Every structure is written in structure tokens, then in C-alpha cells.
A and B are shown apart, each in its own frame.
Chain A
Amino acid sequence: AQTVTQSQPEMSVQEAETVTLSCTYDTSESDYYLFWYKQPPSRQMILVIRQEAYKQQNATENRFSVNFQKAAKSFSLKISDSQLGDAAMYFCAYRRSGSARQLTFGSGTQLTVLP
């Protein structure tokens, strides 16, 4: 079974600084997708960034980028120039290719942005 581990329950970062959130996963599959979701106080889970396992290039979305290390099964999220609006719970998630249902989430990292 796939598992996703986020070892940092809480993180904080100064506004305008950079922070990295960690995520590791365990799978025997070779084709899969990885996601980072953000859950602000509004409770809606919002997709931040996604990575296809077959792509070696790390995904980037504006201030958000990932460091995808397939051999190490590591998928960290880097937030550059942190903003107050980035404060939220961040979830790492894994999904096997071709599966409608097997989206496995980590337990989340609560990010606080300090003014």
C-alpha cells in the first residue's frame, strides 16, 4: 500500500523568505503523480502544484516549486518570497497512474507566515 509521510507538523517562515516543506512516500509503482494541496482557513483544498513521476524536470508554478527525487521517493515543496496569504495547511498527496480513487494524503504541515 502507498503511504505518504510529512514529518513536519508545523513550520513557520518570515514574510518574503523561503521555506521548504518535506514529503516522502512509499510505492512500488513506477508511474504515478504527486501533488501539493493547500488548505487555508476557508477549508477548501486548493491544488498548488503537481508532478508526473515520468518527468525528470521539477514542476514550478510561480513562487512554488518542487524538488522531486524519484529514487529517494522525496517530493518537497519550496515556497519563495513567502506571503501572508500562504499561511495554510499543506498536504502532500500521491496518486497511482490510471486510478480514479487511490489518492493518498499525508497528515499535513501547518505553515505560519510571520509578518
Chain B
Amino acid sequence: ETGVTQTPRHLVMGMTNKKSLKCEQHLGHNAMYWYKQSAKKPLELMFVYSLEERVENNSVPSRFSPECPNSSHLFLHLHTLQPEDSALYLCASSQVSAGYSPLHFGNGTRLTVT
């Protein structure tokens, strides 16, 4: 039990498909994140939902659409993706408070766009 569960573990989709990635955290945290991890690159923050506020990286294309229905669940809706979107997508959660709070990550979804 990692505390942060991501499904599916692997996903192969065509450029015209629509799919969704799911993340669930069981840690009682109040912030959730989507990161993109490409080979030999630093992790790229895509979206943050913190205390019911959404923050996004302006460089993320609109073909990625996040949804956070409550503090425990986070989705990433995908449509009309490009081959360069193939990467590992990591979900994380943390507790936003006055002090620091490390991120707790899931095992990621390996996405391949064909």
C-alpha cells in the first residue's frame, strides 16, 4: 500500500483516442499534483490542486485536462495526444500547512501514444 494509487499502470493509446488517468490518495492530504517524467529530463509539474484551488503550468497543452472532484481523487483526461506526450505520468499528494510537507508519489502510469 503506497498511500497514493494510480491506474492504469500502463496505457497505450492512439492520437485520436480519449482516455483518463486516475489517482487516489489515502493519506488525508489536501493537495494533489500531476507530474510528467520524460527520459533524461527533470520532472515537469503539470497541475496542482491545493485547498480546492487549481494551479497549472501554462506550458501544458490543452489536450491535458485535470479534474479533482474531492481531496482524495485526481484525474487527468487525455485527448488528441501527440507521440511526444509519451512519458511516465506521476501523481503525488502532500499536506499543505505552515511547515514543509514532502510529496508522496504513486507508481505512475506509463503512457505510450502511437
Tell me which residues from 61 to 114 in chain B have a Cβ below 8 Å from any Cβ of chain A.
88, 90, 92, 94, 96, 98, 100, 102-108, 110
Are B92's CB and A100's CB within 8 A? no
The complex places the Cα of A100 from the Cα of B52 at a distance, in Å, of: 12
Chain A's closest residue to B33 (CB) is A101
From known contacts A43-B108, A100-B31, A100-B50, infer whether A107 and B45 are also in contact, taking CB-CB under 8 Å: no
* Stretch from A45-53, A64-72, A80-88 contacting the other chain: A45-53
CA distance A106 to B43 in the complex (A): 8
- Place the interface of chain B in its size category: 20 to 34
Which residues of chain A are within 8 angstroms of B108 by Cβ–Cβ distance?
A: 43-44
Name the residue on B nearest A52 (C-beta).
B100
Q: Are A45 and B105 in contact (CB under 8 A)?
A: yes
> For the side of the interface on A, what is the size category?
20 to 34
In angstroms, Cα B99 to Cα A52, docked, is 10
Q: How far is the CA of A42 from the CA of B88 in the complex (A)?
A: 12
Q: Is A105's CB under 8 angstroms from B50's CB?
A: no
Q: Closest residue to B95 on the A side, CB-wise?
A: A100
A4 at the interface (CB under 8 A from B): yes
Q: Are A101 and B103 in contact (CB under 8 A)?
A: no
Complex contact B41–A103 (CB within 8 A): no
Say whether, besides A42-B107, A44-B2, A101-B55, A95 and B45 are in contact (CB < 8 Å): no
Interface residues in A15-62 (C-beta closer than 8 Å to B): 33, 35, 37, 42-47, 50, 52
Complex contacts, B98 vs chain A, CB 8 Å:
98
Given the known A-B contacts A9-B40, A103-B103, A106-B42, are A45 and B90 also in contact in the complex, defined by CB atoms under 8 Å? Answer: yes
Nearest-CB distance from B16 to chain A (Å)? 27
Once the chains are docked, how many angstroms separate the CA of A106 from the CA of B106? Answer: 19
Please determine whether B42 and A33 come into contact, CB atoms closer than 8 angstroms.
no
Asked if B88 and A101 make an inter-chain contact with CB atoms under 8 angstroms apart, the answer reads: no
Asked if residues B45 and A50 are in contact (CB atoms below 8 Å), the reply is no
Given the complex, which residues of B lie within 8 Å of A105, measured CB to CB?
Answer: 42-43
- Contact sample, A vs B, 10 pairs, CB 8 Å cutoff: A4-B42, A9-B40, A33-B100, A44-B2, A45-B103, A47-B102, A50-B100, A100-B48, A100-B51, A108-B42
